[in-house]
Amino acid sequence: MLRSLSQRTWNWLDERLNLDELIAHAKEKTVPIHKHTLWYYLGGMTAFLFFVQVVTGILLLLYYRPSSDNAFESVQFIMTEVHFGWLVRSVHSWGANLMIAAAFAHMFSVYFLRAYRKPRELTWVTGILFLFIALTFGFSGYLLPWNELSFFATKVGTEIAGVIPLVGHFLKRFLRGGEDVTGATLTRFFGWHVAMLPAAAAMLLMAHLFMVQRLGMSSPEESTDGADNPSHGKTMLFFPNFLLRDLVGWLIALGILGALAAIYPWELGVKADPFASAPANIKPEWYFVFMFQTLKILPAKILFMDGEVLGILAFGLAGLVGLLVPFLDTQSGPNRTSLIFTVLGVVALVYMVAMTVIAYI
């Protein structure tokens, strides 16, 4: 009965939308199997965690109030009064961290497998832009509870934009919604966090997924002329084999998220006071810590420049190189990698890990 009903519904839709053709197409999709196949799951994992963020974010919107007088109290209310509010907020905070971790892991695995080679340059570019957006999400979301730590993190973060030569002052005012970090900054960050960034992220994600669908999975041995060589190596069907494995991964991720949220509920801290000293042991979120530690170590003056200006420009340049890697690395081909870019990648990874570790010990 139920079966025939669903069959009839399907037929009805198929008659109009020609769905069987799509299914036939999906059935052809395969995923290469080799010793690096495990890395293929990271992209899907990032997308899944993004989805978790969207759902929990929409839930939080029902109670959150974006003003300097109410923000802290409303998050407190979510944590203490709203049924499962602690769970939703903690999953949102932990999910953000896991998503960024997954995105970084995805990026580095794609980088070292040289999956950005022709014809996937634009897939890489959209991926990196998505990572930048994810970091902006993290930065803007961090301020929303309006606590002491986030207040100073935002002061420092926006001041960093302010020291960029020429455009700095303008950029800082634009980010802060005025000269200082105030309630105006909070409202601005809120607007980006819940409207502009989600729209941008959704568009990038769609472009990214479209290209992944269009080009199929990259395999390390593949030729770069864009031609498929299905005769090459073992593969598995995307649908259902790979997708089911994906699902298992997502289920595990959800389990980990729930456990983290229950065992380590995200702290709220102390309400921000714009006229109190910065608290000792202040630190940004872990994914900004390598930059934070660099700023701490850089001397006040390097040659004729302020140390932090040099540091910030260097990070900006590194980000730009990262974005344009597929166009800069013309050496990598099938079974051939360029030494310079391997070294660059290793140096970047080691630098980030080392600086982060130094900051925490």
Mask for 94-133, x = binds another protein (CB under 8 A): ----------------------------------------
Q: How far is the CB of 299 from another protein (least distance, A)?
A: 7
Please list, residue by residue across 153-164, b when 16 or more beta carbons sit within 10 angstroms of its beta carbon and e when fewer do.
bbbbbbebbbbb
Q: Which is nearer to another protein, 162 or 333 (CB)?
A: 162
Q: Which is nearer to another protein, 56 or 158 (CB)?
A: 158
Q: Which is nearer to another protein, 275 or 360 (CB)?
A: 275
Q: Which is nearer to another protein, 165 or 299 (CB)?
A: 299
Q: How far is residue 327 CA from its own chain's centroid?
A: 22
**φ, ψ at 245 (rounded to 5°):** -65, -40
Q: Is residue 178 near another protein by the rule CB under 8 A? A: yes
| 3-class DSSP assignment, residue 133 | helix
Q: Is residue 275 near another protein by the rule CB under 8 A? A: yes
- Region of 35-43, 107-115, 118-126, 166-174 interacting with another protein (CB under 8 A): 166-174
Q: Is residue 171 near another protein by the rule CB under 8 A? A: no
Q: How far is the CB of 313 from another protein (least distance, A)?
A: 15
Q: Compute the distance between CA of residue 73 and CA of residue 65 in angstroms, rounded to an integer.
A: 9
Q: How far is residue 166 CA from its own chain's centroid?
A: 29
Q: Which is nearer to another protein, 4 or 277 (CB)?
A: 277
Q: Closest by alpha carbon to 152, among 140, 143, 164? A: 143
**Of the residues 277, 303, 304, 339, which one makes contact with another protein according to CB under 8 A:** 277
Q: Closest by alpha carbon to 221, among 296, 99, 91, 113? A: 113
Give, as ranges, the residues between 282 and 301 that touch another protein (CB under 8 A): 282, 292, 295-296, 298-301
Dig out the tokens for 263 from the structure: 């065992």
Q: Closest by alpha carbon to 44, among 122, 110, 121? A: 110
CB atoms within 10 A of CB 71: 24
Mask for 308-327, x = binds another protein (CB under 8 A): x-------------------
- Region of 73-81, 127-135, 228-236, 273-281 interacting with another protein (CB under 8 A): 273-281
Exposure on the CB side of residue 178, measured as CA atoms within 13 A: 9
Q: How far is the CB of 73 from another protein (least distance, A)?
A: 22
Residues 6+ apart with CB under 8 A from 23: none
Q: How far is the CB of 159 from another protein (least distance, A)?
A: 4
Mask for 34-63, x = binds another protein (CB under 8 A): ------------------------------
**Of the residues 34, 77, 135, 159, which one makes contact with another protein according to CB under 8 A:** 159
Burial (0-12, 13-18, 19+ Cβ within 10 Å), 350: exposed
Q: Which is nearer to another protein, 13 or 196 (CB)?
A: 196
Q: How far is the CB of 184 from another protein (least distance, A)?
A: 7
Q: How far is the CB of 307 from another protein (least distance, A)?
A: 6
Q: Which is nearer to another protein, 214 or 296 (CB)?
A: 296
Q: How far is the CB of 300 from another protein (least distance, A)?
A: 5
Q: Compute the distance between CA of residue 185 and CA of residue 286 in angstroms, rounded to an integer.
A: 22
CB atoms within 10 A of CB 9: 10
Q: Compute the distance between CA of residue 272 and CA of residue 267 in angstroms, rounded to an integer.
A: 14
Q: Which is nearer to another protein, 119 or 307 (CB)?
A: 307
Query: Counting runs of H as helices and runs of E as strands, what totals does the chain give?
Result: 14, 4
Q: Compute the distance between CA of residue 16 and CA of residue 70 in angstroms, rounded to an integer.
A: 51
Q: Compute the distance between CA of residue 155 and CA of residue 28 in angstroms, rounded to an integer.
A: 52
> Which stretches of the chain bind another protein, using CB under 8 A?
152, 155-156, 158-160, 162-163, 170, 173-174, 176-180, 184, 274-282, 292, 295-296, 298-301, 306-308
